[in-house]
Each structure stands twice: as structure tokens, then as C-alpha cells.
Amino acid sequence: MGQLVTVSTIEYPAWWNGATTVKVTQQNTSLNYTVSRSTVEFLPQGVSFPVPNQDETLIPWWNIDNIQKAS
């Protein structure tokens, strides 16, 4: 299991407000999610967003490979 990482100050990327969708890629997997920026929330424990057929998902910061603007 990975190391627990938390952040005390959450900063969104400079491009954040100009994005319509964002792509969240998990580390060491081929899993990635493209979701509406308005549904993504950065939390101290990780990145939270809804996933189809699930209420919501939370990916811990230690398991995030990349977050980028999709559109």
C-alpha cells in the first residue's frame, strides 16, 4: 500500500478555470477519467469526482499520476 500523503494548502492549476473537462490519470495503472471540471474537487486526502455507475470516487494524492486539461 502506498504512503498516505495529505496537503495543507490546495492549489488548483492556473488553467483550471479555463477548462471544461479534466483528465485524471491514476499512477501505475491504465485507468484514467475525463470528467467535467465542475465535478472535480481537490481535497487534503485526494481528488474527488463522480464516476459512472458509482456515487463518487476519491483517488488519494499518492495514487495520482497526472491531472490535465482535456477541453
| Residue pLDDT tens, the chain, 71 long | 445 555 556 788 999 999 999 999 988 777 889 999 999 999 988 999 988 777 778 889 889 999 999 99
Q: Contact, 32 vs 23, CB < 8 A?
A: yes
- Residue 70 and residue 34 in contact, taking contact as beta carbons nearer than 8 Å: yes
Among 42, 71, 35, which Cα is nearest to 58's?
42
Cell of 5: 500523503
pTM strictly above 0.75: yes
